[in-house]
Chain A
Amino acid sequence: MRKGLLLLAGLALFATTVSAQTADEIIARYIKTIGGADRLKAITALRRTGKYTGSGGFEAPIVHENRRPNMVREEFTMQGLTGVTAYDGSNGWKIEPWDGNKNAEPLGEDELKDIIDDSDFDGPLVDYQQKGNKVESLGLEPVEGTDAYKLRVTSLNGDVRNYFMDTDYYVPIKIETKRMVRGAEREFETSLGDYKEAGGVYFPYSMEINAKGSQNRTKYTYEKIEVNVPLADARFAKPSPQGKKPAGSDR
């Protein structure tokens, strides 16, 4: 951990000149800042535990689990009932238990796009070429008064995300997502912050998401990020319909 931070400090020294940089340079510095490719690759599984904050004081515990190459499970617990959205690398499914139905259902088109994005273990910038993503550097564009490099990432499916990378540290501080759903655009903004180290790599511990132009923000705050926890295949695979197990016994 100490070593990583020294590296970070060293990088910052060189970061005082803000000049035109290529997308590859920016991404390389980003990877270095957060701990380097080796440490990143050494992480094969990730569990992030925290809290969802909605409007009017609504809060809910969340657990986000990722496993390489592209499995993801996202849990949201309300009143002892845990909702799940997951992707096993080929199928996306969800359980929304709050209306009395605890069966797993397939994800809709927009939800599936969401979770496939989330399944990208290192995010779309790392190894973007292998993933088929196109990345362009669009120069400087400040985020709420903080200078940032704007990188436009176009995924294979045509969805566009703009990554705003802080010019001092090269980590993303904001992401704009533009997604086509049934031929219509959906636009979101994600703010990232509270970067902290876990397993030798820096992760954002705070995320805020809002539909573009809306002041209603959904907030995720992670309290704990664990790396290389054992995550069995079964956590990501769609479960078969429930039998007559008594309600409540799933706790």
Chain B
Amino acid sequence: MKRSVLILTVLLAVSATAQQPAPAVRVDSDTISGLGARNIGSAAMSGRIAAIDAIREGKRLTVYIGSASGGVWKSVNGGTTYKPVFDKQAVQSIGALAIDRRNPKVVWAGTGESWTRNSVSIGDGIYKSVDAGETWTNMGLPDSERIAKIIIDPSDSNTVYACVPGKLWSDSDDRGVYKTSDGGKSWTKVLKGTNASTGCSMMSIDPQNPKTLFAGMWDFRRKGWTFRSGGESTSAPSGSGLFKSTDGGATWNDLNGAGLPAKPWGRVAVSVAPSRPNVVYAFVEAEPPMNGLYRSDDSGRTWELRDRSQNMIWRAFYFANLIVDPKDENKIYKPGGGLIVSNDGGKSFSGITGGAHGDFHDVWVDPDNTDHLITGDDGGVWYSYDSGNKWWKAENLPVSQFYHVSVDNDMPYHVYGGLQDNSSWVGDSQYPGGITNSRWENIFGGDGFWVFADPSDHDSIYAESQGGELGRVNRKTLEIRGLKPLPGYKEGKLRFNWNTPLHVSPNGTLYIGSQFLFRTRDHGQSWERISPDLTTNDPAKQKQEESGGVIVDNSSAEMHTSIYTISESPKNANVIWAGTDDGNVQLTRDGGKTWTNVTANVPGLPKNAWVSYIDAGHFDEGTAYASFDLHTFGDMRPYAYRTADYGKTWTPVVAQNGNVRGYAHVIRQDLVNPNLLFLGTELGLWISLDGGNQWAQYKGADLPNVAVRDLVIHPRDNDLVIATHGRGIWIVDDITPLRALTPENLARESFFIDSKPAVQRIRAFGGWVNGDAAFEGPNPPNDAVITYYQKKRHIFGDLKLEVLDAEGKVVGTIPSGKRRGLSRVTWSMREKAPRIPPAASGAGSATTGPRVLPGTYTVRMTREKNVYTTPLQVVGDPRAKYSIDDRRAQFALATKLSSVLNDMTFAVDRMNAVRLALDDRASKLPANDSLRSRLYKASEQVDELRRKIVATKEGGMITGEERLREYVANLYGDVNVYDGRPTNMQTERAESLTRELNDVVAGFDRWTAKELPALNAALVKTQRSKIEPLTREEWEKTP
């Protein structure tokens, strides 16, 4: 076999070279993704939900959740459990979902959320699944960027309408209402906006006459510094309006007057009452006081203004949705900051937010029981079973939208981060029993961004909410002290970005940026302003009080001409970089006394790009990496550069049209290997092993193509902690293997990668049962992790992994991983479990062997003829209080008890063998033969001895019967579970149990010496074979 496999390899190589030169080793996603990742959530905060659809299949409820930036989640049990079903698709932002009522296996997903806040993600078209979400096909509209609604003609599954608002940041013709009549193979734009910024914002169909459709059209545009929902654009009259078609979209009537407000309008929502389709509701964002809910009772011919309460009218760009009860045309749900409902046809509304998060976007009403609602808001999914009076939170959707992440130096370390509309949190990177929602603690409020533990004061955390509202939090009392820098006399506004940058240096110096850079070295008691205005200070980009479109909306989300990223050099605290949202890269080399604008030195970078991240080099102070983001100008490509001379010259490290997709949020250099780079974009995480020449997407543990907003490498543990905006925090445990992937190594067939010392983590008990409906993030393995590389997947022949101790004795064998690229396997750091004598039941406390002592071990891999080895350091848990002598005492006693159990098993096996032999010979003798009864009696004597060792009562009940076996196994378990010194009593008990066992064994030996010769003589006399007790040597050979 071995030889032939070699031949095979050679043949393959020959056949490859005959055709083409040998290809270079592939460095792609799968080369690096064997380093798995852990999603630690959390679902405590969850995240924004954009769309919901559900259907009853039989008696069970199938639910699809479209998250704003974390894919599609499906439940087949009404929400008890969910699984993400869109993870393999190119984008994760969902705008619309529609299940085909005629065939629930058919599901449509419109990508690109239409709730167009400043942080909204992007889509790439409309997708269809014909197998209930298992697989998806992109069916077109690739440049739609966002889709607000999908409607399937209830009478014809092949006819589908897509309501496309289109691009948020740039002009585009790819917007309006699209129709397919062939199940998505081809699309026709059936309703076009009157200008390049007008698309469809909402759509509704008359289910009883599906040729009748209503569409709201919306003229909108966002820029980095302003937002316009409706109103006139600079180049064209407003295109917002309400339209009706009665011929399946072939022609449309512009609904004007007849009770509707005067133009210009902003965003429009529309909904036909399914139970009485002549009743149509429209929400129209218009000049106050005519903005509000309109109702028509004649299918849109005439309209009447109804409610215009706060939650009806505000922030139409975020909330313009209407959901009419499927059975009652007078009952309407309107998402808003609060969720409101009318029972009187829209005349009045009541708030039903209850205990939900708020900022609602969609509601699903169960047509079979209209008391049953599912809604989605900025904090996830909520269920009501009493028509919205009370809400039950979904605790299993980890679609949390982090902006930033940091770590502390605790052991295990904590993870800190702030989230879109979901505050600032501290979570455990690991915890006995798993990282449940309750292992995350909320410590601030508002929208959350940067959060840092103060390295100079363990009890303090810096956190902020939108617009630079900085606070210092006492982590024990949770008291907050506000620290935001304030303007001077008649100074006007300090311009703090929505996502205001904070930076904390290793000694606890804190920086915050408005247009100026501030520094404090006394925990915020005093601030130094260490820069002039570092931005362009362009007044045209400072008109936020006019932002909003038809109605002003100035929430600080559009604050501009502000500092956006800060990085102090780890090599020299006087070297500080600052990047602004309007395109400036600024550097001081004297701690802020003087600043140089080095923006113009960045080649090929369009003007005014957001400097999304600067990472000061970790190896010399002149080096820095910077990522730039131009998506607010409609350019979704990545930009990232490196300088090695304090910004005088810059080299691109990523190609705009290469394999890296999505606009860049963060670039980080490894702490050890200067050529190892990490790049987070709106569409995933990329890693370069060669300083930016080639990038491979990291997809370990199926990390989806989700926005990666921030990254941090834990300096002690070498973990990569990933902040996603839509799927929570992910941790790649120990990235040291990536540092070893040099081109020379990648060309090798296989090699081991030095592991960091394996910690024998203290055994602890934590957590509790949470049911199936709660998120739980996994811990890193408790075992030693061994990493190796294979150029090709191993399919044929042995791939054997063994662990040897210092003497060369094999102490463990490990099933091997086969995958191409990096493989990770684990070793329990335990010796073989003791043998346990068979008895009435198992001995659960003795199923694993003693934990080996710390020291140097060797891992040996045998791949066919090739043998590879690597050292493995095993160390104790640094948190443990016991000494190495304590540990040795524990190991010695565990080993002793293990060998007592082995001795005991030998003894019982010996007795059983004699007993069976006696019974066997007896059973072959005539019933009246005196030898027969002698043999049976002897067997009974042996069994009496055996019953002193093992429990024998059977039947599956809890007999409570304990004998030596149970006593020793339990003692062994107790000693084996705690690595410190055994208690004196445990040691004494081990002695006494050993003696008790020896007594029984001696009894058996005596019996053997006394009884067996006579019995054997009698057997031999009657031509029967003698009974020879099993020897230790023979026994050792049995399995």
- Which A residues lie at the B interface, using CB under 8 A? 1-2, 5-6, 8-9, 12-13, 16, 51, 53, 56-59, 61, 77-81, 97-102, 142-146, 166, 168-169, 171, 173, 183-185, 191, 193-197, 202, 205-206, 208, 213, 215, 219, 221, 242, 246-251
Asked if B742 lies at the interface with its beta carbon under 8 angstroms from chain A, I say no
Expressed in whole angstroms, the Cα–Cα distance for A206 and B828 within the complex equals: 19
Q: Are B835 and A80 within 8 A (Cβ)?
A: yes
Q: Are A9 and B838 within 8 A (Cβ)?
A: no
A79 — which chain B residues lie within 8 A by C-beta?
835-838, 842-843, 846-847
Given contacts A79-B838, A206-B816, contact A16 B15 (CB under 8 A): yes
Which of the residues B30, B77, B798, B952 comes within 8 Å of A184, measured between beta carbons? B77
Given contacts A56-B848, A145-B819, contact A100 B798 (CB under 8 A): no
Asked if B808 lies at the interface with its beta carbon under 8 angstroms from chain A, I say no
Expressed in whole angstroms, the Cα–Cα distance for A5 and B864 within the complex equals: 15
Q: Are A246 and B943 within 8 A (Cβ)?
A: yes
Q: Are B912 and A249 within 8 A (Cβ)?
A: yes
Which of the residues A81, A144, A213, A251 comes within 8 Å of B842, measured between beta carbons? A81
Asked if B76 lies at the interface with its beta carbon under 8 angstroms from chain A, I say yes
A173 — which chain B residues lie within 8 A by C-beta?
793, 795, 818
Asked if B540 lies at the interface with its beta carbon under 8 angstroms from chain A, I say no
Interface centre among B4, B58, B915 (most CB of A within 10 A): B4
Q: Are A183 and B795 within 8 A (Cβ)?
A: no
Which of the residues A53, A58, A146, A185 comes within 8 Å of B815, measured between beta carbons? A53
Closest CB-CB distance, B290 to chain A, in whole Å? 51
Which of the residues A101, A171, A185, A191 comes within 8 Å of B954, measured between beta carbons? A101
A248 — which chain B residues lie within 8 A by C-beta?
837-839, 908, 912, 946, 950, 952
Expressed in whole angstroms, the Cα–Cα distance for A212 and B840 within the complex equals: 36
Expressed in whole angstroms, the Cα–Cα distance for A145 and B919 within the complex equals: 60
- Residues facing A in B822-855 (CB within 8 A) are 828-830, 832-833, 835-844, 846-849
Given contacts A61-B1039, A196-B798, A206-B815, contact A249 B916 (CB under 8 A): yes
A143 — which chain B residues lie within 8 A by C-beta?
793, 819
Closest CB-CB distance, A151 to chain B, in whole Å? 15
- Residues facing A in B1-46 (CB within 8 A) are 1, 4-5, 7-8, 11-12, 15-16, 19, 26, 28-31, 33-34, 36, 38
Q: Are B83 and A213 within 8 A (Cβ)?
A: yes
B778 to A, closest residue via Cβ = A215
Closest CB-CB distance, A186 to chain B, in whole Å? 11
B957 — which chain A residues lie within 8 A by C-beta?
100
B814 — which chain A residues lie within 8 A by C-beta?
53
- Residues facing A in B56-96 (CB within 8 A) are 58, 60, 76-77, 83
New A-B pairs, 4, CB < 8 Å, besides A53-B815, A221-B815: A2-B4, A80-B837, A144-B34, A145-B820
Expressed in whole angstroms, the Cα–Cα distance for A192 and B982 within the complex equals: 43
Closest CB-CB distance, B832 to chain A, in whole Å? 8
Expressed in whole angstroms, the Cα–Cα distance for A215 and B40 within the complex equals: 13
Q: Are B952 and A145 within 8 A (Cβ)?
A: no
Q: Are A144 and B793 within 8 A (Cβ)?
A: yes
Expressed in whole angstroms, the Cα–Cα distance for A196 and B76 within the complex equals: 41
Given contacts A168-B12, A185-B76, contact A1 B1 (CB under 8 A): yes
Given contacts A57-B828, A166-B793, A195-B796, contact A145 B849 (CB under 8 A): no
Expressed in whole angstroms, the Cα–Cα distance for A149 and B83 within the complex equals: 25
Q: Are A193 and B8 within 8 A (Cβ)?
A: no
A193 — which chain B residues lie within 8 A by C-beta?
794-795, 799, 816, 818
Q: Are B783 and A56 within 8 A (Cβ)?
A: yes
Asked if B909 lies at the interface with its beta carbon under 8 angstroms from chain A, I say yes
B799 — which chain A residues lie within 8 A by C-beta?
193-194, 206
Q: Are A59 and B795 within 8 A (Cβ)?
A: no
Given contacts A173-B795, A184-B77, A194-B799, contact A78 B842 (CB under 8 A): yes
- Residues facing A in B398-429 (CB within 8 A) are none
Question: What 9 pairs across the A-B complex have the smallest Cβ distances?
Answer: A145-B30, A57-B828, A101-B956, A80-B838, A98-B842, A5-B4, A57-B830, A79-B836, A219-B815
9 residue pairs from A and B, CB less than 8 Å apart: A53-B814, A58-B828, A79-B842, A80-B836, A100-B956, A144-B793, A191-B818, A193-B816, A246-B952
Q: Are A16 and B19 within 8 A (Cβ)?
A: yes
Asked if B492 lies at the interface with its beta carbon under 8 angstroms from chain A, I say no
Specify the main secondary structure of chain A where it touches its partner: mixed
Interface centre among A51, A57, A246 (most CB of B within 10 A): A57
Expressed in whole angstroms, the Cα–Cα distance for A104 and B792 within the complex equals: 45
Expressed in whole angstroms, the Cα–Cα distance for A250 and B912 within the complex equals: 10
Asked if B888 lies at the interface with its beta carbon under 8 angstroms from chain A, I say no
Asked if B953 lies at the interface with its beta carbon under 8 angstroms from chain A, I say yes
Closest CB-CB distance, B716 to chain A, in whole Å? 23
A101 to B, closest residue via Cβ = B956
- Which B residues lie at the A interface, using CB under 8 A? 1, 4-5, 7-8, 11-12, 15-16, 19, 26, 28-31, 33-34, 36, 38, 58, 60, 76-77, 83, 701-702, 778, 782-783, 792-799, 812-816, 818-821, 828-830, 832-833, 835-844, 846-849, 905, 908-909, 912, 915-916, 919, 943, 946, 950, 952-957, 959, 1039
B1038 to A, closest residue via Cβ = A251
Q: Are B1 and A197 within 8 A (Cβ)?
A: yes
Q: Are B838 and A194 within 8 A (Cβ)?
A: no
Interface centre among A145, A168, A206, A242 (most CB of B within 10 A): A145
Q: Are A251 and B848 within 8 A (Cβ)?
A: no
B843 — which chain A residues lie within 8 A by C-beta?
79
A242 — which chain B residues lie within 8 A by C-beta?
954
Q: Are B16 and A16 within 8 A (Cβ)?
A: yes
Closest CB-CB distance, B771 to chain A, in whole Å? 15
Q: Are A145 and B31 within 8 A (Cβ)?
A: yes
B1 — which chain A residues lie within 8 A by C-beta?
1, 5, 196-197
A51 to B, closest residue via Cβ = B813
Closest CB-CB distance, A164 to chain B, in whole Å? 11
Given contacts A196-B798, A215-B36, contact A12 B816 (CB under 8 A): no
B31 — which chain A residues lie within 8 A by C-beta?
145
B849 — which chain A residues lie within 8 A by C-beta?
57
Expressed in whole angstroms, the Cα–Cα distance for A115 and B924 within the complex equals: 39
Expressed in whole angstroms, the Cα–Cα distance for A26 and B289 within the complex equals: 70
Closest CB-CB distance, B469 to chain A, in whole Å? 38
Q: Are A6 and B908 within 8 A (Cβ)?
A: no
Given contacts A5-B1, A61-B1039, contact A13 B15 (CB under 8 A): yes
Expressed in whole angstroms, the Cα–Cα distance for A12 and B58 within the complex equals: 49
B905 — which chain A residues lie within 8 A by C-beta?
80
A51 — which chain B residues lie within 8 A by C-beta?
813
B919 — which chain A residues lie within 8 A by C-beta?
249
Expressed in whole angstroms, the Cα–Cα distance for A102 and B555 within the complex equals: 70
Expressed in whole angstroms, the Cα–Cα distance for A96 and B672 within the complex equals: 52
B952 — which chain A residues lie within 8 A by C-beta?
246-248
Q: Are B701 and A144 within 8 A (Cβ)?
A: no
Which of the residues A1, A78, A144 comes within 8 Å of B819, measured between beta carbons? A144
Expressed in whole angstroms, the Cα–Cα distance for A38 and B77 within the complex equals: 47
B135 to A, closest residue via Cβ = A138
Expressed in whole angstroms, the Cα–Cα distance for A16 and B799 within the complex equals: 24
B950 — which chain A residues lie within 8 A by C-beta?
247-248
B833 — which chain A residues lie within 8 A by C-beta?
57-59
A1 to B, closest residue via Cβ = B1
